[in-house]
Amino acid sequence: MLTNISEDLKKIFLFGVGAVAVTAEKSKVLIDELVEKGDLTVQQGKILNEELKHNIKETIKDTVTVNVVKSETPPSADTVVEGLDKMTPEEIQKIKDKLDAMTAAQMTEKEIVEVSDLEEDISEKEIDELK
Protein backbone atom coordinates (compact mmCIF):
# COMPACT_ATOMS: atom_id res chain seq x y z
CA MET A 1 0.00 0.00 0.00
CA LEU A 2 2.82 2.35 0.78
CA THR A 3 4.37 1.58 -2.56
CA ASN A 4 1.07 2.30 -4.25
CA ILE A 5 0.89 5.72 -2.60
CA SER A 6 4.47 6.57 -3.50
CA GLU A 7 3.84 5.35 -7.04
CA ASP A 8 0.70 7.46 -7.22
CA LEU A 9 2.53 10.52 -5.88
CA LYS A 10 5.31 9.91 -8.36
CA LYS A 11 2.76 9.72 -11.22
CA ILE A 12 1.00 12.90 -10.02
CA PHE A 13 4.34 14.71 -9.81
CA LEU A 14 5.36 13.57 -13.31
CA PHE A 15 1.91 14.48 -14.61
CA GLY A 16 2.35 18.02 -13.21
CA VAL A 17 5.83 18.36 -14.72
CA GLY A 18 4.55 17.11 -18.06
CA ALA A 19 1.59 19.49 -17.95
CA VAL A 20 3.91 22.43 -17.22
CA ALA A 21 6.26 21.40 -20.04
CA VAL A 22 3.41 21.00 -22.55
CA THR A 23 1.87 24.33 -21.47
CA ALA A 24 5.23 26.10 -21.82
CA GLU A 25 5.76 24.57 -25.25
CA LYS A 26 2.25 25.47 -26.44
CA SER A 27 2.53 28.98 -25.05
CA LYS A 28 5.88 29.44 -26.81
CA VAL A 29 4.31 28.41 -30.11
CA LEU A 30 1.35 30.73 -29.46
CA ILE A 31 3.63 33.65 -28.54
CA ASP A 32 5.74 33.07 -31.65
CA GLU A 33 2.59 33.14 -33.80
CA LEU A 34 1.40 36.36 -32.14
CA VAL A 35 4.80 37.98 -32.61
CA GLU A 36 4.80 36.95 -36.26
CA LYS A 37 1.29 38.34 -36.70
CA GLY A 38 2.34 41.47 -34.85
CA ASP A 39 5.32 41.90 -37.16
CA LEU A 40 3.08 41.45 -40.16
CA THR A 41 0.64 43.96 -38.74
CA VAL A 42 3.42 46.51 -38.18
CA GLN A 43 4.72 45.95 -41.69
CA GLN A 44 1.22 46.21 -43.14
CA GLY A 45 0.69 49.40 -41.15
CA LYS A 46 3.86 50.90 -42.57
CA ILE A 47 2.83 49.98 -46.11
CA LEU A 48 -0.66 51.43 -45.62
CA ASN A 49 0.84 54.59 -44.14
CA GLU A 50 3.11 55.07 -47.16
CA GLU A 51 0.18 54.45 -49.53
CA LEU A 52 -1.94 57.02 -47.67
CA LYS A 53 0.86 59.58 -47.81
CA HIS A 54 1.23 59.01 -51.55
CA ASN A 55 -2.54 59.23 -52.13
CA ILE A 56 -2.81 62.44 -50.11
CA LYS A 57 0.09 64.01 -52.03
CA GLU A 58 -1.53 63.07 -55.33
CA THR A 59 -4.91 64.41 -54.23
CA ILE A 60 -3.38 67.67 -53.07
CA LYS A 61 -1.38 67.98 -56.27
CA ASP A 62 -4.49 67.38 -58.40
CA THR A 63 -6.99 69.54 -56.51
CA VAL A 64 -5.15 72.33 -54.73
CA THR A 65 -4.01 75.35 -56.68
CA VAL A 66 -2.09 78.25 -55.20
CA ASN A 67 -2.77 81.69 -56.61
CA VAL A 68 -0.33 84.44 -55.72
CA VAL A 69 -2.00 87.81 -56.01
CA LYS A 70 0.29 90.79 -56.06
CA SER A 71 -1.26 94.17 -55.49
CA GLU A 72 -0.30 96.62 -58.20
CA THR A 73 -1.49 99.71 -56.37
CA PRO A 74 0.77 101.03 -53.64
CA PRO A 75 -0.75 101.50 -50.19
CA SER A 76 -2.44 104.84 -49.56
CA ALA A 77 -0.83 107.49 -47.38
CA ASP A 78 -3.48 106.87 -44.71
CA THR A 79 -2.60 103.16 -44.62
CA VAL A 80 1.09 103.98 -44.24
CA VAL A 81 0.40 106.52 -41.47
CA GLU A 82 -1.76 103.98 -39.60
CA GLY A 83 1.04 101.42 -39.95
CA LEU A 84 3.58 103.75 -38.32
CA ASP A 85 2.13 102.94 -34.89
CA LYS A 86 3.11 99.30 -35.36
CA MET A 87 6.65 99.97 -36.58
CA THR A 88 9.87 99.79 -34.61
CA PRO A 89 12.05 102.88 -34.20
CA GLU A 90 14.54 101.38 -36.69
CA GLU A 91 11.84 100.99 -39.33
CA ILE A 92 10.64 104.54 -38.75
CA GLN A 93 14.24 105.79 -39.10
CA LYS A 94 14.57 103.97 -42.44
CA ILE A 95 11.43 105.73 -43.64
CA LYS A 96 12.78 109.11 -42.47
CA ASP A 97 16.07 108.46 -44.28
CA LYS A 98 14.24 107.53 -47.47
CA LEU A 99 12.06 110.66 -47.27
CA ASP A 100 15.14 112.84 -46.70
CA ALA A 101 16.85 111.30 -49.73
CA MET A 102 13.74 111.81 -51.87
CA THR A 103 13.43 115.41 -50.72
CA ALA A 104 17.10 116.10 -51.48
CA ALA A 105 16.70 114.56 -54.95
CA GLN A 106 13.65 116.72 -55.63
CA MET A 107 15.50 119.83 -54.47
CA THR A 108 18.44 119.03 -56.74
CA GLU A 109 16.09 118.42 -59.65
CA LYS A 110 14.31 121.73 -58.95
CA GLU A 111 17.63 123.61 -58.91
CA ILE A 112 18.64 122.04 -62.22
CA VAL A 113 15.34 123.11 -63.78
CA GLU A 114 15.77 126.67 -62.46
CA VAL A 115 19.32 126.88 -63.84
CA SER A 116 18.08 125.56 -67.19
CA ASP A 117 15.36 128.19 -67.26
CA LEU A 118 17.91 130.90 -66.47
CA GLU A 119 20.23 129.67 -69.21
CA GLU A 120 17.44 129.98 -71.74
CA ASP A 121 16.76 133.55 -70.66
CA ILE A 122 20.40 134.67 -70.78
CA SER A 123 21.87 135.34 -74.17
CA GLU A 124 25.27 134.13 -75.20
CA LYS A 125 26.58 137.62 -74.91
CA GLU A 126 25.55 137.84 -71.26
CA ILE A 127 27.12 134.43 -70.57
CA ASP A 128 30.39 135.68 -72.04
CA GLU A 129 30.17 138.75 -69.84
CA LEU A 130 29.66 136.61 -66.74
CA LYS A 131 32.78 134.61 -67.48
CA distance 56 to 50: 10
| pLDDT tens digits, one per residue of 72-89 | 777 777 887 788 888 888
pLDDT at 95: 86
The model's pTM is 0.32
For the stretch 112-116, contacts whose Cβ atoms lie closer than 8 Å and that sit 24 or more positions apart, written own/partner, are none
C-alpha pair distances (Å), 90 with each of 80, 86, 93, 98, 103:
16, 12, 5, 12, 20
pLDDT at 115 over 60: no
